[in-house]
């Protein structure tokens, strides 16, 4: 079951109310928000233990504390979509799929992602202008299970260098 909110609503209160129902949600989508609804997510996670997919796209500000909260609240999370977020922290919990399209991710952010996401299978960096060979190479070297990296419109990345880093091992 998927629950989706794509307009600016007061999510903290709404998520608290929803958490009192015995739902088996696997996916939660909330987009076009100013910040992460921290209180609502904490209440929601107390009773909803089945969430594996969380989409937080078009959020104006996401910081390190928000990401740690998401990791603590949803330990079974496999997919986290942070596409189109304006301000994003550099640390991300263990995930299999991470969508950072249209964000301000840079090589330093990718370095930290490579250290904290060793189980990453898919990474989308579409339209991330701050990304270059060095950052992508870190991810390719450290995330050994990585199967897909989407680098559309990442003009500073030479794919041949990143592939060479992967096949050195």
> Within its chain, how far is the Cα of 142 from the centroid?
18
Higher pLDDT among residues 5 and 39, named by residue: 39
Q: What percent of the chain has pLDDT over 90?
A: 20
pLDDT in tens, 21-71: 888 889 999 888 888 999 999 999 999 899 989 998 888 888 778 887 888
Task: Round the average pLDDT of the chain to a whole number and report it.
Answer: 82
Instruction: Name residue, tokens 């399209």.
Output: 101
Q: Which CATH number fits domain 2-166: 3.80.10.10, 3.30.9.10, 3.50.50.60, 3.40.630.30?
A: 3.80.10.10
In this predicted structure, what is the pLDDT of residue 90?
Answer: 45
Q: Identify the H or E element spanning 149.
A: strand 148-150
Distance separating the N- and C-terminal Cα atoms of the chain: 41
Q: Check residue 6 and give its pLDDT.
A: 58
pLDDT of 123 reads 93
CA 93 – CA 131 distance, rounded (Å): 20
The span from the CA of 141 to the CA of 164, in Å, is 10
Give the whole-angstrom CA distance, residue 88 versus residue 131: 14
d(C-alpha 63, C-alpha 87), whole Å: 7
Q: What is the pLDDT of residues 130-157, one digit of tens each?
A: 899 888 998 988 888 899 999 998 888 8
Every domain of the chain and the residues it spans: 2-166
Distance CA 27, CA 152 (A): 26
Are the beta carbons of 92 and 117 closer than 8 angstroms?
yes
**Taking residues 93-102, what's their average pLDDT?**
78
pLDDT at residue 42, rounded to an integer:
94
Per cent of the chain over pLDDT 70 is 83
| 131 C-beta neighbours (distance < 10 Å), count | 24
Measured CA to CA, the distance from residue 87 to residue 113 in angstroms comes to 16
């Amino acid at each position: 079951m998927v629950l989706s909110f794509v307009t600016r609503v007061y999510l903290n209160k709404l998520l608290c109310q929803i958490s009192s129902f015995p739902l088996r949600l696997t996916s939660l989508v909330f987009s076009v928000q100013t910040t992460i609804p921290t209180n609502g997510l904490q209440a929601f996670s107390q009773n909803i233990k089945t969430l594996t997919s969380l989409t937080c796209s078009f959020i104006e500000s996401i910081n390190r504390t928000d990401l740690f909260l998401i990791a603590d609240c949803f330990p079974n999370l496999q997919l986290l979509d942070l596409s189109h977020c304006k301000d994003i922290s550099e640390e991300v919990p263990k995930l299999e799929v991470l969508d950072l399209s249209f964000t301000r991710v840079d090589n330093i952010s990718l370095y930290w992602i490579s250290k904290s996401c060793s189980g990453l299978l898919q990474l989308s960096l579409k339209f991330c202008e701050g990304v270059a060979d060095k950052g992508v190479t870190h991810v390719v070297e450290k995330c050994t299970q990585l199967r897909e990296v989407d680098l559309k419109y990442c003009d500073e990345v030479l794919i041949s260098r990143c592939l060479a880093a992967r096949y050195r091992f």
